Amino acid sequence: MSSKIFNYPEITELAEGFKHIEPKLEEEDEDTLLRLKAKLYRFDKDGNQWKVRGDGILKLLKHKQTKKVRLVMRQSKTMKVIVNHLVLPTISIQKHNRSRKSWFWHATDFSDGELKEEVFCARFESIENAKLFKEMVFEAAECQVQKSEESKEEGVTSLAAYLTEKLYVGEKKDVTSTAESQVQKSEARKEGATSLAAYLTEKLYIGEKKDLYNIFEFSNCCISSQAEI
């Protein structure tokens, strides 16, 4: 029985194409501050013991815009995220009693898609790498403290500028309102004065007419009396 070898060029090209595909890590907007090979453990509270989380490259990533720093690690084979949390100013890293290459810390992790309070431990290839990890994490935490203080100062400055602007606008509104009020009052006074003048003039004119009439009547009486006398 003869055997035949079938060649499918389309399948071969497709397989070669898959070899060059790299997983999307969603780290395009971040700068890498640190890359160290390590083995990660997670403390199991129920079992009261350390459990292996996986091995891979532990990274410190700093966002280009927000300047926030996070600690992230993926399993070397599956690329599954096994640690993912922000480096906060309050982070505390402690040395493991049984290994000079290991550090453990507490964090609010989001690697499983929800926030969880976890305790992690990372074991590095050398003591130097372990020291470098601690130094870089502490440096990132200090930067977050400075960033927080700067944000507070910027917030206070922005608030002061906002209030000053509002005050200035309010003053302008008050000045405008006062000016409009004064103009209205002045116009009202003018109208009132004009009306009063017209009223008095009319009264005066009527009074004068009455006086002239009285004088005319008095004169007529006098003339009549003289005629009779």
What's the whole-model pTM score? Answer: 0.58
pLDDT tens for the 229 residues of the chain, in order: 555 555 555 555 545 554 544 556 678 999 999 999 999 999 999 999 999 999 999 999 999 999 999 999 999 999 999 999 999 999 999 998 889 999 999 999 999 999 999 999 999 999 999 999 999 999 999 998 876 666 555 565 666 566 666 555 554 455 455 556 665 665 666 565 556 555 545 554 444 444 444 444 444 444 333 433 3
Do the strands 116-124 and 93-95 form a parallel or antiparallel pair, or are they unpaired? Answer: unpaired
152 by Cβ neighbours in 10 Å (0-12 / 13-18 / 19+) ranks as exposed
Contacts of residue 86, Cβ cutoff 8 Å, sequence gap at least 6: 68, 69, 70, 71, 108
For position 191, what pLDDT does the model report? Answer: 64
Specify if 27 maps to a domain: yes
Domain that holds residue 96: 13-148
pLDDT at residue 42, rounded to an integer: 97
- C-alpha 14, offset from chain centre: 47
Confidence at residue 46, expressed as pLDDT on a 0 to 100 scale = 93
Task: For residue 118, give both structure tokens.
Answer: 């976890």
Q: What mean pLDDT value characterizes the chain?
A: 75
- What whole-number distance in Å separates Cα of residue 89 and Cα of residue 183? 60
Domain total of the chain? 1
Tokens of 44: 């199991």
86: number of Cβ within 10 Å = 16
Q: What is the pLDDT of residue 216?
A: 42
Q: Which residues pair with 73 in a beta bridge?
A: 58, 83
Cα 208 to Cα 25, 96, 214, 219: the distances in Å are 104, 116, 10, 16
Do the domain assignments include residue 70? yes
Domain-embedded: residue 57: yes
CA distance 72 to 122: 12
What's at 71, amino acid-wise?
L
pLDDT recorded at residue 193: 53
Q: Is residue 135 part of a domain?
A: yes
Q: For position 111, which CATH number holds?
A: 2.30.29.30
pLDDT of residue 26: 77
